[in-house]
Structure 1
Amino acid sequence: MPTDPTERVVVPVDPAGADGPVEVAADVTGTGPVLLLLAGQSLGPATAAGLADALPGLTRVVVHTRGTGASTGVPGPAGWTTTLFAADAVVVLDALGVARAHVHGFSMGGRVAQVLAARAPERVDRLVLGATGPGGAQEVPCDDDVSRTLRHAGSPAGRQALADLFFTPAWSARNPEVAARFAPTGTPRVRRAHHGASTGHDGWDLLPLVRARTLVVHGGDDRLTPPANARLIADRVPAAELVVLDGARHGYVEEFRTQVAGLVGGFLA
């Protein structure tokens, strides 16, 4: 458990935008170099907090993506994009007075991190891309049955099937409260906007622009985002190294937390 007190900051990011007033929240814990953590599609901040707690010696800033956690936002007709989410992250860093930070993006948060690192390279020190893909035509797609699970993730059966994509059943049975954190959050409208942002992402031309030293981490048994995507990213980013975790599914950040904390902590150090 974390011993450092956590402060929540709430930042106005788009007071007069097309989607109405939007505030983005972030939970700030610890002292030291700043690590910005970006969560996955429709996932709340608790999905990033576990790994953050396992990385002492850093100031961990867990962003609540629009429509999740304590962040507000009702998507308009144009929907949301990873570019918009990256701009929100920059506003959070500005509000905290942070010029440059390490960045950890998980799943859709990894897509957001790609945009941030490519378009604002001066803001990113080291970059960790976890369980994510490049998007666009180059993305290696998931199987059709996985796509069906995602479409029905709001039903009880769909939530269980989604949990099995994130974690091995035995681990989920031993850690039900942790596994439950990875259920989709937000209203149906917000979930659709997050899905549109993730599926609309195309980072192929952005990846060669990333100048930060980059660690790509992926589960070897990830069916939600097939691990071939990790190789595509690692080959495309100029200064990237790749680690594939045998036996890990999409939610490796929790099921393999101790191992991942060692990897990420060592990389950021």
Structure 2
Amino acid sequence: MREYHEVTRTRDRARLDVQVRGSGPALLLLPGQANNHHWWDRVRDDFTGEYTTVTFDYRGTGHSTSGESRFTTKLFADDALTVMDSLAINRFAVYGTSMGGRTAQWLAARAPHRVRGLVLGCTTPGGTHAVERSAEVREALAGPDAENALLDYMYTPGWRDEHPGPYFVLGDDLMSEADRRAHLFASNRHDAWDVLPDIDCPTLILHGSDDLMAPVDNVALLADRIPNARSHVFDGARHAYFDECRDVADPLVSELLASK
């Protein structure tokens, strides 16, 4: 499916590289922390027959620049609106995973007239209400074998044996260390608890039961807090359920979006 790219600028003059593919109603795809639009490479074509899929490289990733603002998930949500404005897309659905799910929470809560459907994957509400990853996981991700640890937290061993890669969810290798730390800061400081009840569009919460990056207990927190939300947990899946379980996950997403 043909893809075209364009560039848009934020108020603080950051350059955002935007990718558009497919046709039909707009679906914005938001990737995880310290990742660019390639996070969605294995999943995107499942939607481009039905939707115009839109991605963009977060500040500091891909071909986007950092700008002058401190990174927050609120800022990333503002950037997402800037992107959709640049494409003259008023109403759209959003599918955000991991930090993209955090960003999507702000987007749906602060611009309810723009978001017609919301999918939150492998994410948390943030703040003191969230169930955070363990100290052991944090230490492994900061340790000398961090890449292998991250891969193990993303996918089950059996799936990796059948799908040897390449993998697109392990971070943008071209990011600066400063931007990588800024992404971590934005994700860690996320707290949308107070605005979750303001989300009024149909919402689907997806998660892997064995996710150690964002523990599955966060599903109930989000589902209880967001009106008109339902959830599905993939038995045995880890953080990258959206890739490993795409044959089940993507039809669930399409079903939700078709219902609106």
Range class of TM-score, shorter chain = over 0.9
**C-alpha distance in 1, partners of 2:61/2:158?**
28
Ranges in structure 1 where 5+ consecutive residues have no aligned partner? none
Structure 2 match to 1:48: 40
Matched residues, number: 255
1:160 Cα deviation (Å)? 0.4
Aligned-residue CA RMSD (Å): 1.3
- 1:262 is matched by which residue type in structure 2? P
**C-alpha distance in 1, partners of 2:198/2:205?**
16
1:174 Cα deviation (Å)? 2.8
Q: What are the within-5 Å matches in structure 2 for residues 203-222 of structure 1? A: 203-222=192-211
2:162 counterpart (174, 177, 185): 174
Q: Secondary structure at the match of 2:76?
A: helix
1:198 aligns with 2:195: no
1:267 aligns with 2:259: no
8 A contact 1:79–1:196 mirrored in 2: no
Structure 2 match to 1:11: 8
Q: Secondary structure at the match of 2:193?
A: coil
Structure 1 match to 2:150: 162
8 A contact 1:184–1:191 mirrored in 2: no
Q: Secondary structure at the match of 1:182?
A: coil
2:28 counterpart (21, 36, 43): 36
Structure 1 match to 2:123: 132
**C-alpha distance in 1, partners of 2:150/2:239?**
10
TM-score normalised per structure 1: 0.91
Counting aligned pairs with the same residue, the percent is 41
8 A contact 2:205–2:229 mirrored in 1: yes
Q: Secondary structure at the match of 1:97?
A: coil
1:71 counterpart (50, 64, 76): 64
**C-alpha distance in 2, partners of 1:70/1:102?**
24
List, as ranges, runs of 4+ consecutive aligned residues in structure 1 with deviation greater than 3 Å: none
Q: Secondary structure at the match of 1:202?
A: coil
8 A contact 1:38–1:105 mirrored in 2: yes
C-alpha distance after superposition, 1:13-66 (max 9, x if no partner): 13xx3xxx3111121001100000010100121112322211121000012111
1:71 Cα deviation (Å)? 1.3
Q: Secondary structure at the match of 1:177?
A: coil
Structure 2 match to 1:107: 98
1:170 Cα deviation (Å)? 2.6
**C-alpha distance in 2, partners of 1:167/1:259?**
16
Ranges in structure 2 where 5+ consecutive residues have no aligned partner? none
